[in-house]
Amino acid sequence: MANSPKQVMDLRVAKGFSEAQSNEHKRNWDDKKWDRAMGYGTYDRTREHLNFEMVNGRIVPIDKKKSIPDCIREILSARGIKDPNEGLPEPKFRTVVNFIFGGSRERMHELAFGDQAVNLNKDADNSHIKRCPDIEKWALDVYRFVADKWGEENIAGFVVHLDETNPHCHCTLLPIREGRFAFKKMFGGGNLYDYKDYMRSLHDEFAKVNEKWGLSRGSDISKTGARNIPPQEYRRMLSRECADLESQIESDKSLLQQLKLEASHAGRRVKGLTTMIANLESRKAELEQEMVRLSTDLQAGKGNADELQRKIDRLGKDYQKVLDSLTDKRQKLAEASHKLSEYRELEEESREKTNEYRQQAEDYKRSIREASGELAGQIRYRIADAVINDVIGGLRSSLPKLGDAGSAFDGTLLEDLAERGEDILKCAGMLFAGYVDGATTFSEGHGGGGGGSDLPWGRRDDEDDLLWARRCLFRAAKMMRPAGGKSVKRK
């Protein structure tokens, strides 16, 4: 089961849902945004037509005209519920739960594309790929799981993406119970421990949904203690994940820098248009004053009437041009302001993701340190496990001879352990972990000879943990004997 396909259920709680997030979910992008997204290598526009959404339990094409914030407003209005963050300088209430559901890439590709070969290379053309019924049935099961658990009326969005590297679905849920937002009540109570227990049981429940789809629940580390894989492999896995996250952070830094530049450009455009509008307003006021003055002179019979009228007509044309220009610039200002707001939202979203990746990387690094400590503990356990049979065997063979002579113990492992057991175990632990130089230095510093063989030292390919620990123990016993000897060599 260790290598069986695993389910994915990620939950993020938020204090709102932006238009930019909705545009990402629904792929409501222009060519420029698509080009930027495809530049990351994880999006494939030629597969966008395979995406779909679930509305009231039915599979429908994605409606790009209606945003998820629009759906949220409709839900709240229909039920007479007020958004508690409305009118606040800064939102502070958790009103949205963002889910991502999916699974191991190979299995999700089987559900989505069957035996069709999808080219995941950047800029590949996959427009010929067809959507398979299994992904729709899986999505319907996930939708029903969410609806039964938290209420179908609380689902504001359920979008399935088949145009990314790994097929998955996004569910936007409003944590509403009895007509009020109630995230704590719906998701495990008011403290961290209750929340962890709730999430643990939630993964168990979701695993029952995924069982028929060949997706299993990941191992619960809090229950297993170990991670169903050797600590060395676990550390390597975490190191790879950590490296991937570091790469993602670098990628996000690049995106963040790009968004900053675009936001800066949009800001300059807003400033320039604002200045143009101010100048046009001034020009408009000047023309109005001049036309009023000329009209007054015309009515009073001052000057040549035809000349005055020609001037008024000419000013009227200039005035209309100013009005047209004002209308154009105001419209462009509104568009530029909207883009600026959008870029800033994307910038903030990218910054939050980068911070999440950094935190996750720190968590992995901490897990690596913990796994190192666990490895030391398992080394000690393996050595102790290897010792006990030899100790018992030594006692059984030596006890009958005690009456004749205690010299029966001379040169045995039992004698070595009786005299230098703690140091032998420490030295064996270093050998097990591959610290040959450290083991040699330790033995020489604690009364031992430090070696006893010119043969290369190292773990054999066909040697399991127990045999390796046993051999380390016997070598450590030799190294800790006072007689002089040569240091073991690395393989």
How far, in Å, CA of 477 to CA of 460, rounded?
A: 20
CA-nearest of 171, 174, 172 to 78 is 174
- The phi, psi pair for 51, rounded to 5°, reads -65, 155
- The phi, psi pair for 55, rounded to 5°, reads -130, 120
Question: Looking up tokens 């204090």, which residue turns up?
Answer: 15
CATH topology of domain 237-377: Helix Hairpins (1.10.287)
Domain boundaries, the chain: 7-228, 237-377, 402-480
Output the CATH code of domain 7-228.
Answer: 3.30.930.30
pLDDT tens, 241-250? Answer: 566 556 556 6
How far, in Å, CA of 296 to CA of 303, rounded?
A: 11
Of 109-113, 232-236, 313-317, the range with the lowest mean pLDDT is 232-236
pTM over 0.85: no
3-state secondary structure of 55: strand
Instruction: List Cα–Cα distances, 341 to 36, 243, 337, 361, in angstroms.
Output: 18, 33, 6, 30
Residue 489 confidence (pLDDT) above 50: no
- The phi, psi pair for 451, rounded to 5°, reads -170, -125
pLDDT tens, 453-475? Answer: 666 788 887 777 778 888 888 89
Q: How many CB atoms lie within 10 A of CB 461?
A: 5
Q: Please determine whether the domains at 7-228 and 237-377 fall in the same fold group of CATH.
A: no
Question: Looking up tokens 């009073």, which residue turns up?
Answer: 300
Residue 375 confidence (pLDDT) above 80: no
Higher pLDDT, 224 or 133: 133
pLDDT value of residue 442:
83
Question: Looking up tokens 């910054």, which residue turns up?
Answer: 351
pLDDT tens, 411-427? Answer: 777 777 766 777 887 88
Please enumerate in sequence order all residues whose Cβ is within 8 A of that of 193, keeping only pairs 6 or more positions apart, or say none: none
Provide DSSP, 378-446: HHHHHHHHHHHHHHHHHHHHHGGGTTT-GGGGTTSHHHHHHHHHHHHHHHHHHHHTT-HHHHHHHHHHT
How far, in Å, CA of 6 to CA of 101, rounded?
A: 11
pLDDT value of residue 202:
92
How far, in Å, CA of 170 to CA of 243, rounded?
A: 26
Token readout for 52 is 């779909």
pLDDT tens, 2-23? Answer: 457 888 888 888 889 988 889 9
Higher pLDDT, 40 or 476: 476
- The phi, psi pair for 40, rounded to 5°, reads -75, -20
Q: How many CB atoms lie within 10 A of CB 408?
A: 18
pLDDT value of residue 337:
84
Number of residues in the chain: 491
How far, in Å, CA of 165 to CA of 75, rounded?
A: 32
Q: How many CB atoms lie within 10 A of CB 177?
A: 13
Of 78-87, 226-235, 297-306, 359-368, the range with the lowest mean pLDDT is 226-235
Query: Are 185 and 177 in contact, with CB atoms under 8 Å apart?
Result: yes
pLDDT value of residue 325:
92
Query: Are 174 and 116 in contact, with CB atoms under 8 Å apart?
Result: no
How far, in Å, CA of 469 to CA of 371, rounded?
A: 19
How far, in Å, CA of 173 to CA of 167, rounded?
A: 20
